[in-house]
Structure 1
Amino acid sequence: MSIEVLDDLVGEAEEVNGHNPWLNYTLQLHRMREMGIPHRLFDLLDERPFTRSELREFCFLLFGAGTFDGVNDPEVDFNGFLKDLNDIVSKEKQQWDPAKKKVKPILNLKEMNRIYGDSACSIM
Structure 2
Amino acid sequence: TVTISNPQGREIGTVIQKLKSAATGLEENGKFVSVVISTQGIPSDTFTESNSAVMEEYIQSLRALSALPVKIVFRLCTDDKKGRNFYKKIDMDIDCDVLGSYWDEALEVYLQNSWLTYGIGFHRVREAGMGSNIMNCLNKRPLSTSELYDWCRSMFVRDNGLVTIRHPAKDWSGFITDLKNCLKEEKSRESTSFNQERHSSHASRHTESDVTHKSTSFHQGVKKQPVLSAELLRRKMPQRPTSFHTSQRYPKLVSPDSSPKPVKKQYSSFRDSLKSSAVIKEELHASLFQLFDETTQE
Structures share a fold, TM > 0.5?
A: yes
Selected match of 1:80 from 174, 180, 199: 174
1:61-100 mapped onto 2 (5 Å cutoff): 61-64=154-157, 66=160, 68-92=162-186
Selected match of 2:150 from 57, 76, 79: 57
Aligned-residue offset at 1:43: 1.2
Secondary structure in 2 matching 1:5: strand
Give the TM-score of the pair, scaled to structure 1: 0.68
Aligned-residue offset at 1:61: 1.8
Structure 1 or 2, whichever has the larger Rg, is 2
Give the TM-score of the pair, scaled to structure 2: 0.29
Aligned-residue offset at 1:53: 0.7
Report the Cα distance in structure 2 between the residues aligned to 1:67 and 1:80, rounded to whole angstroms.
20
1:20-35 mapped onto 2 (5 Å cutoff): 20-35=113-128
1:7-26 mapped onto 2 (5 Å cutoff): 7-26=100-119
Secondary structure in 2 matching 1:21: coil
24-33 vs 83-92, greater mean Cα deviation: 83-92
Structure 2 gap ranges (5+): 1-65, 67-94, 188-298
Could you tell me the percent identity over the aligned residues? Answer: 33
Structure 1 gap ranges (5+): 94-124
Matched to 2:98, the amino acid is: V
Aligned-residue offset at 1:58: 0.8
8 Å contact from structure 2 (residues 153, 165) kept in 1: no
Task: Please give the per-residue CA displacement for 1:73-112, whole angstroms capped at 9, x wherever unaligned.
Answer: 111101100000011123445xxxxxxxxxxxxxxxxxxx
Q: What is the alpha-carbon root mean square deviation over aligned residues?
A: 1.8
Aligned-residue offset at 1:59: 1.1
Match of 1:96 in 2: none
Matched to 1:88, the amino acid is: C
35-44 vs 74-83, greater mean Cα deviation: 35-44
Matched to 2:177, the amino acid is: K
Report the Cα distance in structure 2 between the residues aligned to 1:32 and 1:73, rounded to whole angstroms.
26
* Aligned residue pair count: 93
Aligned-residue offset at 1:68: 4.3
Secondary structure in 2 matching 1:46: coil
8 Å contact from structure 1 (residues 67, 88) kept in 2: no
Higher relative contact order (CA closer than 8 Å, sequence separation 6+): 1
Higher helix fraction (1 or 2): 2
8 Å contact from structure 2 (residues 112, 141) kept in 1: yes
